[in-house]
Amino acid sequence: MLFHVRMDVDIPHGVDATGLIAAEKARALELQRAGVWRHLWRIVGRYSNISVFDVGSGDELHTLLSSLPLYPFMRIEVTALATHPSDLAAQP
């Protein structure tokens, strides 16, 4: 199942998140190499990203997202994706 995910990061002033940011990057690269984190894009001008995940279920995605190192400092919006009938890749 594909999910569109927007993550907005808000680290409070005074919190040293250097280690968490490094750990987040390592986890993101690991999940991309595993084919789970399919796309990762920066939203221009914001400390936010748009991502696409390929996971088995919403429960699996929740477990994954809530285990990210920066999760305590993120606001996350998730949209489940389905195949569009006019998608070229979906044509017979």
For 70, how many CA atoms within 13 A lie in the half-sphere containing its CB? 25
In the complex, which residues of this chain contact ligand LWBT4IAB (CB under 6 A)?
Answer: 7, 9, 24-25, 28, 49, 70
Question: CA 65 to CA 85: how far, in whole Å?
Answer: 29
Q: Which is nearer to ligand LWBT4IAB, 5 or 85 (CB)?
A: 5
Q: Which is nearer to ligand LWBT4IAB, 7 or 64 (CB)?
A: 7
Q: Which is nearer to ligand LWBT4IAB, 24 or 55 (CB)?
A: 24
Question: Would you call 61 exposed, middle or buried from its count of C-beta atoms within 10 A (0-12, 13-18, 19+)?
Answer: buried
